[in-house]
Structure 1
Amino acid sequence: MVKSCRTNKFLPCQELVSKVRCSASHPSYSKEFAFRYLILHATQFIFNSIASLIGSSSSPSPTMALLLALCYVVFSFVSILSASSTDVANVTIDEPTVKRSDFPSDFLFGIATSAQQIEGSAAGGRGPSIWDDFAARGKIQDKSNASVAIDSYNRYKEDVGILKELGVNTYRFSISWSRILPNGSVSGGINQQGIDYYNNLINELVASGIKPFVTLMHNDCPQALQDKYGGFLSHNILNDFRDYCEICFKTYGDRVKNWITTNEPLATALFGYDLGFSAPGRCSTPNCDAGNSSTEPYIVAHTHLLAHASAVKLYREKFKADQKGEIGISLVGKNYLPYSDSSDDKAATERAMDFAVGWFLDPLVNGDYPSIMRSVVKDRLPTFTAEEKEMVKGSLDFIGINYYSTQYARNTPENERKVGTSYSYDSFVNETATRDGVMIGPKAAGIEWIYRYPDGLVQILGHVKQKYQNPKIYITENGVTEENVGGRLVPEKLNDPHRIDCLKQHLARVLQSRKNGVNVQGYIHWSLADNWEWGSGFKPRFGLYYTDYEDNLKRHAKKSAEWYKAFLQGGH
């Protein structure tokens, strides 16, 4: 809990006022919510005061005690009214009214997962990915690995049954590159058991009336290619990725009409090659054994863009006319607000957006990187040839946005700037989730980077609409966590009001964005069931369904699953 929301255990009055002021000034709470919060806690305080007086030997007047408590109520209400306009900026709707019927009948509502996080099982000939190697080196917080994950490889029919019961009309999942090509390349052999597995999954989905929405690579580059030539540090991967994509288009494209080439290349470049927190765990010494944080993130992002564009070119030239599908990319929906009204912080916010969102969308829409990146990064930022520019520009039918949180952007003073040392420092921005001691939104449990701020979804969608020619957009991920506390399953663990609120608030923002003219055509929630969350292991729980890690990985519907089902059936 942040400093401004701490209570004074020795002064009940200050405790009450502190709680109320915290709720009043919180960007995610309305004043109406704060008033209800006030009444609840003031009433509780009055009863506690009376109980204390009854038990007191001095027996002061109960009337005086009630008057004192009422004074606290009045004082607290004044605190609400005096909350600054900055503190309550971007207030969200308390109980948004949003219904399935508010959206077109063909609007996509779905659930998202990824192969590495749910499938498990090296059985059936799957080769290791960079995340298998990373986990084997003991780099996961809880020292776990994804060798079993939640065993969806063997339980895919059960999981599709859950999806059908929910009533979603699309399911975003990923194909494991190393399950199709265990050695990463066609020359190493095609794994027929892998081909069959995804055929069976896709057929099960289609038979259940659910559209497959397929990601070709979700952070899980084959380890064989990392060992062979450095993975996405080398242009050698372009041919291997294109060959892999061609197998998928040819094999599954008669039923798959929505393709994502790659997921969150920003996250791979930043965490895998700048900070070293994620696979393959590269960064500058002494934090990593190997890597260069000042150059490798840019090389990896550049290669991802070329791999994406090459796959899109292939699909459009050989498959799209007959299969009539669409192909795009999923990007991190990073969103920033200025830390203050200063011109420096406003400029820092623009730089932050360019270094996060523009890094990928500028080339994809305009053919080259943002000018601010060119001027700051200089020759560390790769260049596109004329032929590559032509291939990259316009290489998307839609953009997938993965939105979870928003942060404040604060300008880094010139005397504190670490020029040329890493991607993280190149934007000259200090990112923070707190301003004047107040968090931008409630912090999610079990994970460090999610602060719930639904209005940020409207802002990032508006930014993409305004700056990038209003492309077709799908929300390809959005969700929130609770912490895995272990122990046996009890009913309380299925009660997740914070996730229900997340769904309500963000669906309302999707609807608001559509009314604002944003071409958003789908909302895909993360995730189906609690699973293996990359470097955090099994600590965070993202699922609408509770995965019982202590009872054969059984799935149990949380209250949020019941809410989403009712929403999809028109019950909300």
Structure 2
Amino acid sequence: MIRDVVLASTWVSAVLAQQVYAPADGPVLRPTKCSLNGSYATATPVYSFSQFSFTQTETVRTATSVTPGPATTYAAPYESLSHLVPNLATTTWGNWEPNATAAATDGADPYGQAAWSAIWERANLANFTDRGIYSTTVSPTPVPTSELVLPPPSYFQPQDSYYFPKGFEFGVAGSASQIEGAIADEGRTPTLMEVLTIGRGDGDPKDYITNENYYLYKQDIERLAAMGVKYYSFSIPWTRILPFALEGTPVNKQGLDHYDDLINFAIAKGMEPHVTLIHFDTPLQFYADPYNRGPVMIGYGNGGYSNETFQDAFVHYGKVVMTHFADRVPVFFTFNEPLLYCDNGKAVDTVVKSHARLYHFYHDEIKGSGRVAIKLNDNFGVPQDPAKAEDVAAANHFNEFQLATFANPIFLGKDYPEAFKMTIPDYVPLTEADLAYVNGTADFLGIDPYTATVVTPPAHGIAACAANTSDPLFPYCVNQMTNTTTGWNIGYRSESYVYMTPTYLRTYLGYLWNTFRKPVVITEFGFPVAREADATNLSDQLFDQPRSDYYVQFLSETLKAIWEDGVHVAGAFAWSFADNWEFGDYDQHFGIQTVNRTTMERRYKKSFFDVVDFVAARTQE
């Protein structure tokens, strides 16, 4: 398995140089001019009095908004593509009111208001009462200049001379269930996210309101554009477009109109919209019992992917979205982090094949000039001791299970890795015809590299663990920790995880590029500062220096990966553009803006200014 990772001797040297723990004595080395033979080391300072005066100065800088350019077309408009999804009927529904006194009277219509309401009744949501502040789209207002004044620069600044390559995409990201709210408005039906909060109870915050972005999307886009953000990645909920989920059911006109307007508004502000088709929010219709979804062998939960009707239904939904928006949207992601909601081998088979079908639909039938990709996840496994072959093998096993399971067939036309096949007994074998069809069906590799994991093999062996589904280490079958052989953590402890040190990020990017041989886009990267939610003073929340350090370190190492390691990194998207709902709580503040949960007011944090300033200073026109 080691040979799948180490593909070039020069890259081997680079990786080992970043991972080997070299013994050293004494303090850190300083620049040559600071050595004992340098000019400052042997000089004696001269002390003297002078007339005191306040000499510090303040330079007031303001953020530069993105400038709209000429509109770009990536495919024919829907009118020319509608024949690819024939017989679409559109309709509208109302809002679900759990305490409504009047019942719908169109019970004979299988897709009428009564049938639509029945889906919500079956969901039986806990404590669904508050609908938020807004009930219609809010007109945007310009961001005042006073809010765009940059904070004082950090004292220690990167000293690099690198620039991001032309065409590098720096942007921000968000997902529907985490920001939109309005879950039962304008025809949307329930999703897995409304009934699932990972390991939490009904008393924990739900996604019913979140940031009310569904009605505040224009103001959110206005604020992003004012900061100079050009690329905006967001997801569209399947159930806002097809409330009854399946092919042959009506399309929600209000849903289409909403995202049509969102896309047009983003473009008018000079931004480029990137669309994800599913971000964990599977329609509830794919579950016989939404509150009892059966055993899970792989990820966090059952995303419905193994349902026998899922693949055809998802592909149909993707075709509806692509045909309507492909003329203006340059990038479509099929799945977000599919590993996390694949419950078994059938689910993986569904993800791989439905992704490939949509890729072919976009390029072969729509003939779009944009790109189609998938967003993968992996807490990058690094060997605790890179000098030990068994630790290296464990790290490879860990990464291949999570990444190569999808990336082997999609990027290389290769079979599933042994790490997956030896662990998941019900995996669906890929035929030669499958591999030929799936091979090359991604235009780049999307990755969400939040953290690293230090890995060693279990004492009883990986194979023994993989053969025993009740083993406590199943399914990854390695020991996972956050400290190296020295005992130190690999990074700063955040609210929910240890963030990856920059060295491991650079190694990770090299691993992805050299293993799967496609450009890499960092589709999410972010950092929830520890105990930020406990700050009662707004100014303390806004001055989020640890997050600023994280972003600058992350992008500095990305530049080194590009220029020093030859890795093609094509973009990076900060997660998230505002504090949001983190699948059961609001305490993990990933945002580069605060959100007042009472007024829904947004405020820029220091990290937002610092990251856009870092990128702007290194962007080639």
TM-score by length of 2: 0.68
Establish whether residue 96 from structure 1 lines up as the match of residue 142 from structure 2. no
Q: Distance in 1 between matches of 2:201 and 2:555?
A: 33
**Quick one: structure 1 residues 174 and 98, their matched pair in 2 at CA, closer, same or farther if it must change by over 3 Å?**
farther
Amino acid at match of 1:443: R
Q: Partner residue of 1:531?
A: 580
Q: Shift of the alpha carbon at 1:342?
A: 2.1
Give the C-alpha shift of residue 485 in structure 1.
Answer: 3.0
Correspondent of 1:338 among 383, 399, 409: 383
1:385 maps to amino acid: T
Residue 288 of structure 2 corresponds to residue 239 of structure 1: no
Letter in 1 for 2:236: I
Match of 1:450 in 2: 498
Cα pair distance change 1:472/1:569, threshold 3 Å: closer
Alignment partner of 2:522 out of 459, 462, 475: 475
Aligned pairs for 1:468-507 within 5 A = 468-469=516-517, 471-482=518-529, 483-485=531-533, 488-507=536-555
Question: Secondary structure of 1:439's partner?
Answer: coil
> Is the CA contact 1:337–1:349 (under 8 Å) kept in the aligned structure 2?
yes
Does structure 1 residue 363 correspond to structure 2 residue 424?
no
How far does residue 355 in structure 1 lie from its aligned partner after superposition?
1.0
Is the contact between residue 360 and residue 369 of structure 1 (CA under 8 Å) also seen in structure 2?
no
Q: Does 1:188 align with 2:249?
A: yes
Separation in 1 of the partners of 2:202 and 2:453? 24
CA gap 1:97/1:198 in 2 versus in 1, 3 angstroms:
farther
> How many residues are treated as equivalent by the alignment?
452
Letter in 1 for 2:436: E
Partner of 1:20: none
Where in structure 2 are the equivalents of 1:403-414 lying within 5 Å? 403-414=449-460
1:521 is aligned, of 570, 574, 577, to 570
Aligned to 1:70: none
Distance 1:188 1:265, change over 3 A: same
Q: Which has the higher helix share?
A: 1
Query: 2: distance between equivalents of 1:517 and 1:25?
Result: 25
1:313 to 360, 378, 382: 360
- What secondary structure, in the 3-state scheme, does the structure 2 residue paired with 1:167 have? coil
Which residue type is aligned with residue 251 of structure 2? I
Which 10-residue stretch deviates more, 225-234 or 123-132? Answer: 225-234
Displacement of 1:432: 0.9
Secondary structure in structure 1 of the residue aligned to 2:510: helix
Q: 2:391 & 2:544 partners in 1: Cα distance? A: 36
Q: Does the aligned pair in 2 maintain the 1:489–1:548 contact within 8 Å?
A: no
**Structure 1 position 213 matched with structure 2 position 274:** yes
1:147 aligns with 2:196: no
Note if contact 1:433-1:451 (Cα within 8 Å) is conserved in structure 2: no
Match of 1:372 among 418, 441, 459: 418
State the alpha-carbon separation in 2 of the partners of residues 141 and 97 from structure 1.
49
Q: Residue 347 of structure 2: SS of its match in structure 1?
A: helix
1:511 is aligned to 2:559: yes
1:245-268 per-residue CA deviation (whole Å, 9 max, x = no partner) reads: 111111111100111111101222
How far, CA to CA, are the matches of 2:611 and 2:604 in structure 1?
Answer: 11
Q: Distance in 2 between matches of 1:248 and 1:160?
A: 21
Aligned to 2:349: 302
Distance 1:299 1:459 in 2: 32
Deviation at 1:518, TM superposition (A): 1.3
Structure 2 residue aligned with 1:258 = 331
**Structure 1 counterpart of 2:205, one-letter code:** S
Q: Distance in 2 between matches of 1:366 and 1:174?
A: 27
The SS at the match of 2:429 is coil
Give matches, 1:12-411, under 5 Å. 31=28, 95-97=157-159, 102-121=163-182, 122-135=184-197, 139=200, 143-227=204-288, 231-269=304-342, 273=343, 296=344, 298-319=345-366, 321=367, 323-340=368-385, 341-373=387-419, 376-377=422-423, 379-411=425-457
* Alpha-carbon spacing, 1:420–1:517, altered in 2? closer, same or farther (3 Å): same
Instruction: Report the equivalent of 2:73.
Output: none
Is the contact made by 1:140 and 1:534 (CA closer than 8 Å) also made in structure 2?
no
CA drift of 1:235 comes to 3.6
Note closer, same or farther for the CA distance 1:489–1:348 as it changes in structure 2 (3 Å cut).
Answer: same
Q: CA deviation at 1:226?
A: 2.8
Per the TM alignment, residue 140 of structure 1 is displaced from its structure 2 partner at its CA by 5.3
Mark the CA change 1:339 to 1:567 in structure 2 (over 3 Å): closer, same or farther: closer
**SS class of match (2:220):** helix
2:488 to 438, 444, 448: 438
Contact 1:142-1:539 within 8 A present in 2 as well: no
Distance 1:112 1:170 in 2: 9
> Structure 1's 216 and 371: CA in aligned 2 closer, same or farther, altered over 3 A?
closer
User: Which residue, 558, 568, 572 being the options, matches 2:605?
Assistant: 558
Structure 1 position 98, deviation (Å): 5.2
Q: 114-123 vs 379-388, which deviates more? A: 379-388
Residues 58-80 of structure 1, C-alpha deviations (whole Å, 9 max, x = no match): xxxxxxxxxxxxxxxxxxxxxxx
- Report if aligned partners of 2:542, 2:606 keep a CA contact under 8 Å in 1: yes
CA contact 2:339–2:377 (8 Å) conserved in 1: yes
SS of alignment partner, residue 327 of structure 1: strand
**Deviation digits for residues 265-318 of structure 1, max 9, x if unmatched?**
12223xxx3xxxxxxxxxxxxxxxxxxxxxx2x322221111211111211221
Name 1:48's counterpart in structure 2: none
Residue-by-residue CA offset, 1:372-391 (whole Å, 9 max, x unaligned): 23662374322123332222
| Alignment-mate amino acid for residue 502 of structure 2 | P
**Distance of 1:459 and 1:225 partners within structure 2:** 39
Quote the Cα distance in structure 2 between the aligned partners of 1:530 and 1:25: 40
**What letter is aligned with 2:442?**
L
Secondary structure of 1:125's counterpart equals coil
**What SS does the aligned partner of 2:455 have?**
strand
SS at structure 1 position matched to 2:186: helix
| Per-residue deviation, residues 34-71 of structure 1 (Å, max 9, x unmatched) | xxxxxxxxxxxxxxxxxxxxxxxxxxxxxxxxxxxxxx
Displacement of 1:422 in angstroms is 6.2
Q: Is the 8 A contact 2:168 2:571 kept in 1?
A: yes
Q: 1:138 to 1:476 in 2, by over 3 A?
A: closer
CA contact (8 A) 1:368 1:384 kept: no
Q: 1:488 to 1:368 in 2, by over 3 A?
A: same
Contact 1:412–1:430 under 8 Å retained in 2: yes
Question: Identity over the aligned pairs, expressed in percent?
Answer: 28
Unaligned 5+ runs, structure 1? 1-23, 34-93, 274-295
8 Å CA contact 1:475, 1:524 repeated in 2: yes
What's the offset of the Cα at 1:225?
2.2
What is the one-letter code of the residue matched to 1:545? Q
